[in-house]
Structure 1
């Protein structure tokens, strides 16, 4: 009852920024402590007695700081994620606040006494006498989420990274009917621009690739990559620049991911049969090991299993009016990216699609 009453107070009576803060720290842990409940009630009693708005702000700030101190914590790898692929090639840095993924010819190599090994998405048969396998490593969130926002800061492979793919994505793990939202960073030969490919699967149907050349060197420093997913649209961000928008056009008969919770995944793997110039540029193992870095993990959404009404709650901050469409600044940035840096859009690929996909006609 304590958590429910405070959640209601936060979503109804407080500004969006404060509501968002309370939501973030409330839903990630079981319930607010009774001590802060008493503090809030004491604050309200004082306000009723003195009617001082300045005192109200001061005491409200005191309550919020208390809530953050007691229930807030920075996301760390150990608490929120688990290794799913090649444990020996994943290292924790800064007490689990950052992760190093390592790719070499032994990444993802199966044990010799096994006939199968797992990747994050599928099982690959493996013959004991052969050395054929996909080199790679990866990790995933311990929970799945319905709607919300996920982001990570990533520093990509420097120099010659041709044939590699560094990925950050959400996936429902439901095979032929899976939902999936992909960031895939395609390696390049030295001096060439880094390309990020996005893709969207809805009810098992994908093949919605778009590619953008990044306008900076993503291997020189960390940059923030974000997926915003609500009932209205899906937006992929690079720092504060939207690079892709996929609108909910279910009213026009177009599938939209909204029925399946998705986990958060990050992988680094060998894909030189397609990743760089359509597979013409192969991975140069003499340049290995290849390193990619992840930090500042941030997941704000409805965990499953969890409260049954969370995903449908229109009071969740990511469902608010400010997040139902791009604002004016974001719209300008989105147009700039598409005009100056987009190099492939499946909607424009007439050699691949003789009939324009319906979501392209509906306006995505």
Structure 2
């Protein structure tokens, strides 16, 4: 039987999505531009960054520090209207590492701005192909919504407005886990016409440019890599995220998201990406 609290939370998903708020942060002290500097606009109070994509370039920023484990939150409002072909991101990447680790939140545009697709993916030791595609239960262009990545020694959980939407567990036999090298946080917008919308069938229409995504209330509670071996400086040694393991309620919410909003899963939708070691036992084993 589904707990009454879970039933209530699921019924309130659209309302909860509109009520998310976070403490303000000074983005200017924590990030630096990655590319397209002229298309990156920082608010006077340092709490919001707008990135844009036009006929010349996209844009992006990255964290000034790299991390080994943490909880990474941001509020985003995606480009409205016809955004087909655009890819907007918030992700962690081990650029410059010995191998490629990456934790992805990618928002794929649509001719109808209310129909964005969220694609999640996990790369570990150079191997990805763990995509999931999720239809959001709200219009991500009209209000700010919270997107989060929790990465600790036990698991990776992707959240939308504090609702878990994807999960990757450590310790699966034969499946490496990203826990040996630091990752930097990135946010970008770029032209993904070759694959993003309807698998590349619908291209970017520059008559709708510039495409602008807004980020605000960047909040990172993580262990900063010092550049010496595996040494880190943790802002809060007793932070809840460090020991968090997915709860029963989170499992039930995640199962609901899978039933209702996920339409592509690498374990069930593409035989070429099926890996028995991580798919055969089911999502939450």
- Taking structure 1 as the reference length, the TM-score comes to 0.67
Superposed, 1:18-57 pairs within 5 Å as none
Is contact 2:83–2:113 with CA below 8 Å preserved after alignment?
no
Whether 2:283 is the aligned partner of 1:333: answer no
Gaps of 5+ in 1: 1-72, 108-135
Q: Do the aligned partners of residues 170 and 79 (structure 1) sit closer, same or farther apart at CA in structure 2, a change above 3 Å counting?
A: same
Structure 1 equivalent of residue 30 of structure 2: 80
What SS does the corresponding residue of 2:178 show, helix, strand or coil? coil
Choose which of 187, 193, 209 in structure 2 pairs with 1:272: 193
Structure 2 equivalent of residue 289 of structure 1: 210
Report how many aligned residue pairs link the two structures: 258
Larger Rg: 1 or 2? 1
Deviations for 1:202-256, whole angstroms, at most 9, x for unmatched residues? 0111111000000100001000000001111100000021000111124x12100
Is contact 2:66–2:184 with CA below 8 Å preserved after alignment?
yes
Is contact 1:176–1:204 with CA below 8 Å preserved after alignment?
no
Is contact 2:72–2:220 with CA below 8 Å preserved after alignment?
yes
| CA distance in structure 2 between the aligned counterparts of 1:92 and 1:315, rounded to whole angstroms | 32
Query: Comparing both chains, which one has the higher relative contact order based on Cα–Cα distances under 8 Å and sequence gaps of 6 or more?
Result: 2
Report how far residue 356 of structure 1 moved: 3.2
Superposed, 1:193-204 pairs within 5 Å as 193-204=115-126
Structure 2 equivalent of residue 99 of structure 1: 49
Choose which of 148, 156, 172 in structure 1 pairs with 2:70: 148
| CA distance in structure 2 between the aligned counterparts of 1:276 and 1:143, rounded to whole angstroms | 32
Gaps of 5+ in 2: 1-22
Whether 2:262 is the aligned partner of 1:342: answer yes
Report how far residue 309 of structure 1 moved: 6.2
Q: Which consecutive aligned stretches of 4+ in structure 1 deviate over 4 angstroms post-superposition?
A: 313-316
Structure 2 equivalent of residue 356 of structure 1: 275
Q: Which structure is higher in strand share?
A: 2
| CA distance in structure 1 between the aligned counterparts of 2:65 and 2:37, rounded to whole angstroms | 19
Q: Do the aligned partners of residues 350 and 293 (structure 1) sit closer, same or farther apart at CA in structure 2, a change above 3 Å counting?
A: closer
What SS does the corresponding residue of 1:318 show, helix, strand or coil? helix
Structure 1 equivalent of residue 182 of structure 2: 261
- Taking structure 2 as the reference length, the TM-score comes to 0.85
Query: CA RMSD for the aligned pairs?
Result: 2.1
